[in-house]
Amino acid sequence: MSENVTLPQQGAKQQGEALLKVEGLQKHFPIYGGFPFKRQVGAVKAVDGVDLTMFAGESLGLVGESGCGKSTTGRLITRLLEPTGGKIEYAGQDITHAKRKQLAPIRSEIQMIFQDPYSSLNPRQTVGTIIKSPMEVNGINPPGGREKRVRELLETVGLNPEHYNRFPHEFSGGQRQRIGVARALALQPKLIIADEPVSALDVSIQAQVVNLLQKVQEEMGIAFLFIAHDLAVVRHFSQRVAVMYLGKVVEVADRDSLYNRPRHPYTHALLSAVPEATVDGPQRERIRLAGDVPSPINPPTGCRFRTRCWKAQEKCATDEPPLVQISGNAEGHLTACHFPEEPTIKGGKEVVLDPALASLESDSK
Amino acid sequence: MTTLTKTEDKPAPTGPEAFLSVRDLRVAFSTEDGVVRAVDGLSFDIERGKTLGIVGESGSGKSVTNLTVLGLHNRKTTDIQGEIILDGQELTTASEKEMEKIRGNKAAMIFQDPLTALSPYYTVGRQLSEPFMKHRGASKKEAKDRAIEMLAKVGIPQPQTRFDDYPHQFSGGMRQRAMIAMSLMCDPELLIADEPTTALDVTVQAQILDLLRDLQQEFGSAIIFITHDLGVIANMADDLLVMYAGRAVERGSVREVLSEPKHPYTWGLLSSMPRLGGDTSEALVPIPGTPPSLLNPPTGCRFHPRCRFRDEVPGDLCSTERPLLADGRAAACHLTGEQKQSIFIDQIKPRLG
């Protein structure tokens, strides 16, 4: 297979300068134990070697199941967490271990939208104060004053500017998320990390917030790292999508390639598991994995997906597959797999690894 | 309230096959802020071996309905009217003792969050055995054998050793499997699954959904499947009931409702959901506004403040008169059949792709 391999740096080459470059990013949370002296007995390898490149103004989706490290990756990029290893480069500047002072100008350019609109707004502050405070912290004085700017922002996100003096509890979940968006926009950022921005909202409200984010992204040219577990929402929002599994990116590609021509078995399994609200839709493949995601405390050697993969061979346990462009893939479509799947999601294929399902279904046949 | 309190929802003909039949159910809670009418005139039937899906957003009354069916509501603060007939037995007037005989035996429930629904204090095995010993008078040994058999059936590896584990030693997907095993211990004829996969990842969700469907074929239980995810319903249910603000707004088979929805709320739900095969250049069409508070629900049709099509209805019918939900395939809306058809074909269908 090695003759097919091109290095990821070459594969990821695209128009424009990379806004954010992440290489081999790691975050290990230590576990302490023992008596009488607590010492480190292990580590949760939440993020373990993530490579990502983001370009100015693009929207990159990051999908994966819970515990795969997608939120941690987002928090590392905003430097809310200190990376254990690897490198984060923002606009050509290494910010991996940058100090507070060095980070100050960059912090205003990278903003975050959180998942839970109930816990991410201070209940004691008015909406005005919440949206204003990033400007106060960064000493920004927009023409016409901060209050005027806040009222403009409220209007941008579809709230009434007269809500300036209200408190968060007076708003519904969707409206609160709009306040969170307004706060993130207050500093005119270049990059917004949106960590599951719609998953706490009702279906009918989700679309309102997704449309708002899309409007903001297109009109202001802000790059978005859109972290979510809902593959359909990510597909709708992002031009490129990265799939994470147990702390690593296993596949990254433009939207069409990833959803129509996925190569990594895990991406196939994820896509086949999404329930679709149609009764006569096109037949899709059916892949039912066995069990849950393994613990990131002691992840499998080699390829991390091998314990749940139907194609795993000895090589998968010993060699970790690099994230590269496999032959037959479009440029920028990188996959970390020794034995990639056919690039199709057409029906007919059936893989049932779950023992209970397999036995029940063989009985009924 | 200026609403006409007409008794709508003429009871559907109760065929001999209807195993559970809910008639004009009204549930109201008295809270500090006032009376919450969580369910307001709901009727549905379910046959043995069939799956009824109930879809709705948070606060639409879907969970309350089913807690009421099992008598899990707080009797002191809840006012219940209407009928719930399970296999010929009236449940709204049943005593706590009678309900105890039904719960876990004839009717069982699978809850959304298996970590809070299982007791952390007892082993999984003990929690599984308990209903079997209580309802069937089985010995400890028999109950243990049965529990191990059920654990194996739902795909828990090494059920003999897992029997003595505590819930925290199980992963999320396994806990949900254990809960399914628990609900199936006494061969229930009615299984109520309240968002059983909402807390799970998609790959695990797919396993659990398939497992439930396969088990239903084997056990022949009737399932009420509550969820907010239309995708999950499309895979699981035979019939579908769409709820909004405590009322049923549309009813029909899953195929009918999903391929030709008739209520503006269902249209809104479907067009606000992105799809894997949809056109990404088209913006989503959200439902404007927010779901109403049930302390002070809108008059007439409860969806009218958020409805795009209420101008097509003559007069102020939408805000004054409650639309009726007829029997069988129906939608509770004042739009005429032709209007619905033309709106759906011209405006809604092209967006759904």
pLDDT single digits (tens) A59-76:
999 999 888 899 999 999
What is the pLDDT averaged over residues B328-342? 90
Report yes or no: B338 at the A interface, CB cutoff 8 Å: no
Q: How far is A319 from chain B (nearest CA, A)?
A: 25
Q: How far apart, in whole angstroms, are the C-alpha atoms of residue A260 and residue A268?
A: 10
pLDDT value at residue B305: 92
- Backbone phi and psi for residue B245, each to the nearest 5 degrees, phi listed first: 50, 50
Residue A162 CB-density burial (10 A; 0-12 exposed, 13-18 middle, 19+ buried): exposed
Q: Look at residue B3 in the predicted model and tell me its pLDDT.
A: 43
- Whether residue B2 has pLDDT greater than 80: no
Span A312-316, average pLDDT: 92
Please indicate whether residue B189 or residue A14 has the higher confidence score (pLDDT): B189
Percentage of the residues of chain B whose pLDDT score is greater than 70: 95
pLDDT value of position B16: 53
In terms of DSSP bridges, do strands A18-33 and A85-90 run parallel, antiparallel, or are they unpaired?
A: antiparallel
User: Two tokens at B175?
Assistant: 């806990």
Query: Are residues B263 and B77 in contact, defined by beta-carbon separation less than 8 angstroms?
Result: no
pLDDT digits (tens, 9 = 90+) for B284-311: 888 988 888 888 889 999 999 999 898 8
pLDDT at B331 over 60: yes
Cβ contacts of B320-325, under 8 Å, gap ≥ 24: B320/B2, B320/B3, B320/B4, B321/B3, B321/B4, B322/B3, B322/B4, B322/B6, B322/B8, B324/B8, B324/B9, B324/B10, B325/B8, B325/B9, B325/B43, B325/B247, B325/B248, B325/B249, B325/B250, B325/B251
Q: Side-chain half-sphere of A43: how many Cα atoms within 13 Å?
A: 11
For residue A36, whether the previous peptide bond is cis, meaning omega lies within 30 degrees of 0, is yes
What's the pLDDT at B10? 44
Domain range list for chain A? 2-109+189-261
Q: Is the CB of B215 inside 8 Å of chain A's CB atoms? A: yes
pLDDT of residue B5: 43
Sequence-ordered alpha helix ranges (H) in A138-202: 146-156, 173-185
Instruction: Output phi, psi for B146, to 5 deg.
Output: -65, -45
> Do A240 and A55 meet the contact criterion of CB atoms below 8 Å apart?
no
Q: Is A354 on the interface with B (CB under 8 A)?
A: yes
| List of chain B residues whose C-beta atoms are within 8 Å of the C-beta of residue A214 | 283
Compute the nearest-CA separation of B240 from chain A (Å): 12
**pLDDT per residue over B87-117, tens digit each?**
889 998 889 999 999 998 899 999 888 888 8
Of the candidates B80, B86, B18, B11, the one whose C-alpha atom is nearest the C-alpha of residue B47 is B18
Q: What's the complex ipTM?
A: 0.84
Amino acid at B19: F
Write the CB contacts of A342 (distance below 8 Å, at least 6 apart in sequence). Answer: none
Alpha-carbon distance of A128 to A151, in angstroms, equals: 8
Of A235, A270, A360, the CB nearest to B218: A360
Judge: A259–B203 Cβ closer than 8 Å, yes or no: no
Q: Is B259 within 8 Å of A279 when comparing Cβ atoms?
A: yes
Is residue A68 less than 8 Å (CB to CB) from chain B? no
Per-residue confidence (pLDDT) for residue B317, from 0 to 100: 86
Please state the rounded mean pLDDT for residues A223-246: 93
Distance CA B172, CA B205 (A): 11
pLDDT tens string A197-221: 998 888 888 899 999 999 999 999 9
CATH for A2-109+189-261?
A: 3.40.50.300
CA distance B257 to B240: 7
Say how far apart CA A156 and CA A173 lie, in whole Å: 18
Whether residue A337 is predicted with pLDDT greater than 90 in this model: the reply is yes
From A239, which residue of chain B is nearest by alpha-carbon distance? Answer: B280
- According to the model, what pLDDT value does residue B353 have? 65
The confidence score (pLDDT) of residue A75 equals 93
Which stretch of A208-212, B189-193, B259-263, B310-314 has the lowest confidence by average pLDDT?
B310-314
**Which residue type is seen at B327?**
D
> B214–A361: do the CB atoms touch at under 8 Å?
yes
Predicted confidence at residue A257, as pLDDT, reads 92
- Rounded to two decimals, the pTM is 0.87
Q: For chain B, how long is the longest CA-to-CA vector?
A: 69
DSSP assigned state of B103 = B
For residue B125, the model assigns a pLDDT of 94
pLDDT at B268 over 60: yes
* Average pLDDT over chain B, rounded to an integer: 88
Average pLDDT (B23-32) is 90
Residues in chain B with CB shorter than 8 Å from the CB of A260 are none
In chain A, the residue whose alpha carbon lies closest to the alpha carbon of B268 is A204
Is the CB of B255 less than 8 angstroms away from the CB of A279?
A: yes
Taking the Cβ of residue B268 and every Cβ of chain A, the question of whether any pair is shorter than 8 Å is answered with yes
In this predicted structure, the answer to whether residue A309 has a pLDDT above a threshold of 80 is yes
What's the rounded Cα separation, in Å, for the pair A234 and B269? Answer: 18
Confidence of residue B181 (pLDDT cuts 50, 70, 90): very high
**Closest by CA position to A337, among listed A357, A313, A355:** A313
SS3 percent helix, strand, coil of chain A, rounded to 5, is 35, 25, 40
Contact A288 B206 (CB under 8 A): yes
Determine the distance in angstroms separating the CA of B253 from the nearest CA of chain A, rounded to an integer: 11
Best residue in A175, A354, A361 for a mutation probing chain B (most B CBs within 10 Å): A354
Chain B residues lying within 8 Å of A272, measured CB to CB: 206
pLDDT for A50 beyond 60: yes
Nearest CB neighbour to A276, from listed B228, B234, B255: B234
pLDDT per residue over B130-142, tens digit each? 999 999 999 999 9
Contact A270 B232 (CB under 8 A): no
Q: Which of residues 200-259 of A touch B (CB under 8 A)?
A: 202-208, 210-211, 214, 229, 231-233, 235-236, 255, 259
**What is the structure's pLDDT at B225?**
94
Task: Judge whether residue A284 has pLDDT over 90.
Answer: no
Q: Any chain B CB within 8 A of the CB of A87? A: no
Q: What's the confidence (pLDDT) of residue A11?
A: 35
Task: Give the contacts of A281 (CB within 8 A, at least 6 positions apart).
Answer: B277
What does the alpha-carbon distance between residue A248 and residue B177 come to, in Å, rounded to a whole number?
28
